[in-house]
Amino acid sequence: KVPAAAHPLTENPTEIATDINYHVKLNTHFSPFKFEPEQAFFATAESVRNSMGGHFLYFVRDNPKHTYYFSMEFLQGRALTNAIGNLGIENAYAEALNKLGHELEEIVEQVINSSKKPVLVLNCIILMTGNGGLGRIASCFLDSMATLNLPAGGYGLRYKYGLFKQRNTKQGQEEIAEDWLEFSPWEVVRYDLVYPVRFFIYAVLYPGDATESGKLLRLKQQFFLCSASLQDIISRFKDQRGGYTWSEFPSKIAVQLNDTHPTLAIPELMCLPMEDEGLGWDEAWDVTTRTIAYTNHTVLPEALEKWSQPVMWKLLPCHMEIIEEIDIMFLAMVKDTRPDLEYKLPSMCILDHNPPKPVVRMANLCVVSAHTVNGVAQLHSYTLKAELFVVTSLYGPPSSKIRLTALLGGFGFAIQSSFADDANFQDEWASAKMASKRRLASNISCVTGESIDPNSLYDIQVKRIHEYKRQLLNILGAIDRWYLFQNYNVSVAEMLIPGSELSQHISTAGMEASGTSNMKFALNGCLIIGTLDGANVEIREEIGEEIFFLFGARADEVPRLRKYQENRLFEPDPRFEEAKQYIRSGAFGSYDYKPLLDSLEDVIYRYFRDRKRWLKMSILSTVGCGKFISDQTIAQYAKEIWNIQECRVP
Ligand code: 26Y
C-alpha cells in the first residue's frame, strides 16, 4: 500500500506559500530570519522535492518494466525549473512566490547552471568549449521520460569537477576548475546502498587521455559507472519479488547505452550473474543481449572508442576473457552463416590484434551484443546501416537491428502554418524576436561593453570546435563580410538561440551524426544556412526547402570532390584566397564587394530586408520543428526499443 504523502502535491498558491514558509522557518541549513533569493530558492526546491517523494513508490508497487539510461555525461539545466515544469505546477509556484515577495524567474538564477557553458566569440561565430549534444540529449531524455510518465531513469557519475570554466581575457583564454557541485536540495545520499567496485577514482569529467594514467583513469570511471549501476539494478530487480529467475530480467529491465562510453556494461552484465550466481554462458549471453541497446553518436573513425588490449587485460582480466569469447563466437557465426562476408571480418571483429597497438573496438562490441542499434539522424542511421551491415545481418533480416529512431516524431504543433501570413501574428512574432534580440544585446553590452544595433541581422554559430564543423570556413566567410557585420561577444544558449535569426550549420556532409543546436535554432524561428548533413536533412524536409538556405556539397558528392582536391583539380572560390590574404596582410580596409553580389549571403540579406517574407519563413521554421521534440523520440524508444509502458502516478 502506498501511503498518502506528508505534503501532498498541491496546485493551490496559498497552500504552496505556506509550505515554502514552513521550509524557510524549519530547515536546518540557514537562518530562519533570512529570506533572500538564495533561501527562497532552497525552500522552494525542498517544498517541490517533498511533494514528489511518493512517486517512486508507485513504480515499486506496480512493478512495471524499467529503462535505465547509462551515460558518462548529463548536461543538466536548472533542476527546480525542470521539476515544476514536468509536474505542471509552474504557475502555481510563481504565484505562491509572488505572495512571499519573490519572483520565480529571479530565484532560479540562484543556482549556477552547469549547462551554461561560457563561449568564445570570433566575429559572428561562437566557438563553444564544453560539451556537445550527447550530454544534453541524455538530460532531455530524462525530462521526456518524466513528462511521459515512463518508469525510467538515468545512471551517471557524480563528478567533483566538470569541464573547465572559460574566461577570455586580453591575454587569451584562461581555464578555471569548475567545482560545480554545490550544496543542493536535489542530491539525496543513500547511505544504505553500497556496492563493491574494485577501484574508486572518479573526480574529473574526462581526465586527459594523453598519458597512460589519464587513459587508465577514464577506463576506471567507465567501469565504475557500469558496475555500480548494474549492481544497483540487479539488487532492485531482486527486491521486487520474492523469487526471481534470470530469464525474466530482460522483460523487467532495459539498458540504453549513450554511445560506447558505458560499453563495459556488456561484459559486466555477463560477469556478475556468472560469477556470483553460477549462471551459464548461454543464459548470461541471452540476458545481456536482450537487455542492452546501443545508440551511436559518430561515424568518424578517430572518434570511435578503442581501448588498448594490454591495459584492459591488466585492469579487467575477467571482462577481457568474456570479450574474447564474444569475438570468437562472432567470428564463428559469420564463417558458418555468411562465408561470403568473411573478407569483411578484419574490420568488423571486436579485437583488433594488429601490432603495435592491439585494441578492443568498443563500437563493434556494442553492435555485436546489443539487440538494437540506433543512430541520431536519418542520414546517420543510413550510414550506420551501410557500414554495419555484416554484423546486423547475423540477426535475422539485415535491416532488423538498426533503427531509424533519429529524433523522429510528428508532433502536431499549436501554431498552424496558416498563421505565417497573418499580419497581426507576424507583428507579435517580430516583437517576441526583437525582445530576445534586445535581451541578448544587453547581455553582450554587460559582458563586453560593445553595443549592438538590435535591427541588424544576428547570424550565429554555436558548436564544439572541430574541423568537420568548419568554424574556420565560417571565420573566412566572416572576414569576407567584414564591413557588413558588427564584431561582438556574448554568453549563453538560452539567450543566444532565441535572439538569433540566422545560424550556421555547415559541417561537411556525412560527418555530423545529427547536430542538435540546428533543431534548437530552427524551433526558435531562426533560419538556417546549412549543408545536407545530420538532422539538417530532416529539418529541411520538415520546414520546406524554400525556407532553408542550402549550402555546400551533398554527402555522396564529397568523395569525388576530395579526389579532385587531392589531384589539385579543385578550384576554391576566389574569396577563400582573398580572405586568407586579408588575414596574412592584417589589412581589412579596401575590398571590392562585386564578387559578393551573386553569393548566398546576398540572397540572405535580400530576404532579410523583405520583412514580411523573413517573418513568414521564421514562423514556418518553428511550425516545422515539431518532429524534433525529444518527447516524441522517447515515446518511440519506449515503444520500439525498450518495450515499456506509461506508469501514471495519481
Ligand atoms: C572523451 C570521449 C569518450 C568522448 C566524450 C564525449 C567522445 C565524445 C563525446 C561527445 C560527443 C557528442 O556530443 N556527439 C554529438 O552527439 C549529438 C547528439 O546525438 C549529435 O547531434 C552530434 O552530431 C554529435 O557530434
**273-311, pLDDT tens digit by residue?**
999 899 999 999 999 999 999 999 988 888 899 999 999
pLDDT at 119 over 90: no
| Minimum CA distance residue for ligand 1 atom 11 | 134
* More confident of the two residues 359 and 467: 359
pLDDT at 124 over 70: no
If you search the block for the grid coordinates 549492481, which residue do you land on?
A: 231
By residue count, the chain amounts to 650
378 C-alpha vs ligand 1 centroid, how far in Å? 17
Does ligand 1 have an atom closer than 6 angstroms to the CB of 376?
yes
Spatial separation of the C-alpha atoms in residues 449 and 615, rounded to whole Å: 30
What is residue 130's predicted lDDT score, i.e. its pLDDT?
Answer: 47
pLDDT at 636 over 70: yes
Residue to probe by mutation, ligand 1, list 69, 70, 117, 134, most atoms within 8 Å of CB? 134
Paired sense of beta strands 359-361 and 306-308, if any: antiparallel
Could you tell me the pLDDT band of residue 563, with boundaries at 50, 70 and 90? confident
Average pLDDT of the chain, as a whole number? 81
The per-residue pLDDT for range 478-529, each reduced to its tens digit, is: 776 653 443 622 236 777 888 888 898 988 888 899 988 899 899 889 999 9
pLDDT at 576 over 70: yes
pLDDT at 143 over 70: yes
pLDDT at 259 over 90: yes
For residue 18, CA distances in Å to 15, 37, 100, 101, 419 come to 5, 17, 9, 13, 43
> What average pLDDT does this structure show over 548-553?
89
Does ligand 1 have an atom closer than 6 angstroms to the CB of 381?
no
What CATH architecture is 54-77+133-408+633-642?
3-Layer(aba) Sandwich (3.40)
What is residue 65's predicted lDDT score, i.e. its pLDDT?
Answer: 94
From 9-13, 61-65, 108-112, 393-397, the region with the lowest mean pLDDT: 393-397
Does ligand 1 have an atom closer than 6 angstroms to the CB of 261?
yes
Spatial separation of the C-alpha atoms in residues 25 and 34, rounded to whole Å: 9
pLDDT at 117 over 50: no
pLDDT at 111 over 90: no
What is residue 2's predicted lDDT score, i.e. its pLDDT?
Answer: 56
DSSP 341-401: GGGGHHHHSSEE--TT--EEEHHHHHHHH-SEEE-SSHHHHHHHHHHSHHHHTTSSSTTSS
Strand segments (E) across 420-475: 459-464
User: How many DSSP H helices and E strands does the chain contain?
Assistant: 27, 17
Neighbours of 187 (CB within 10 A): 10
pLDDT at 121 over 80: no
> What average pLDDT does this structure show over 608-626?
90
What is residue 183's predicted lDDT score, i.e. its pLDDT?
Answer: 65
| Atom number in ligand 1 closest to CA 137 | 18
226 C-alpha vs ligand 1 centroid, how far in Å? 19
260 C-alpha vs ligand 1 centroid, how far in Å? 10
The values of phi and psi at residue 599, to 5°, are -80, 165
Could you tell me the pLDDT band of residue 530, with boundaries at 50, 70 and 90? very high
DSSP 107-165: HHTTS--TT---EEEETTEEEEPS--HHHHHHHHHHHHHHHTT-SEEEE----SBEEEE
Enumerate the domain spans of the chain: 54-77+133-408+633-642, 417-628
pLDDT at 256 over 80: yes
The per-residue pLDDT for range 220-238, each reduced to its tens digit, is: 999 999 999 999 999 999 9
CA 34, chain centre distance (Å): 38
| Atom number in ligand 1 closest to CA 515 | 21
The per-residue pLDDT for range 428-461, each reduced to its tens digit, is: 999 999 999 999 889 888 877 888 888 888 888 8
| Atom number in ligand 1 closest to CA 261 | 3
Spatial separation of the C-alpha atoms in residues 92 and 72, rounded to whole Å: 35
298 C-alpha vs ligand 1 centroid, how far in Å? 7
| Minimum CA distance residue for ligand 1 atom 5 | 206
The per-residue pLDDT for range 363-389, each reduced to its tens digit, is: 999 999 999 888 888 888 888 877 765
Mutual orientation of helices 79-87 and 37-52 as an angle, nearest 10°? 40
Could you tell me the pLDDT band of residue 569, with boundaries at 50, 70 and 90? confident
Please state the pTM of the whole predicted model: 0.81
> What average pLDDT does this structure show over 342-350?
88
From 140-144, 266-270, 384-388, 604-608, the region with the lowest mean pLDDT: 384-388
205 C-alpha vs ligand 1 centroid, how far in Å? 14
Grid coordinates of 191? 547511505
pLDDT over 70, % of the chain: 79
What is residue 491's predicted lDDT score, i.e. its pLDDT?
Answer: 35
Does ligand 1 have an atom closer than 6 angstroms to the CB of 525?
no
470 C-alpha vs ligand 1 centroid, how far in Å? 16
Rg (CA), the chain: 26
Tell me the CB-side half-sphere exposure of residue 637, using CA atoms within 13 A.
32
Residues 469 and 132 sit within 8 Å (Cβ to Cβ): no
Does ligand 1 have an atom closer than 6 angstroms to the CB of 178?
no
CATH topology agreement for domains 54-77+133-408+633-642 and 417-628: yes
CATH class of 417-628: alpha beta
The values of phi and psi at residue 19, to 5°, are -65, -45
Query: Ranked by mean pLDDT, which of 103-112, 119-128, 302-311, 399-408 comes out on top?
Result: 302-311
| Minimum CA distance residue for ligand 1 atom 14 | 134
Give the three-class secondary structure for 175: strand
- Positive or negative, the Cα torsion across 555, 597, 462, 142? negative
Does ligand 1 have an atom closer than 6 angstroms to the CB of 219?
no
Amino acid at site 294: Y
Residues 271 and 322 sit within 8 Å (Cβ to Cβ): yes
The per-residue pLDDT for range 37-47, each reduced to its tens digit, is: 888 998 999 89
Does ligand 1 have an atom closer than 6 angstroms to the CB of 132?
yes
What is residue 490's predicted lDDT score, i.e. its pLDDT?
Answer: 27
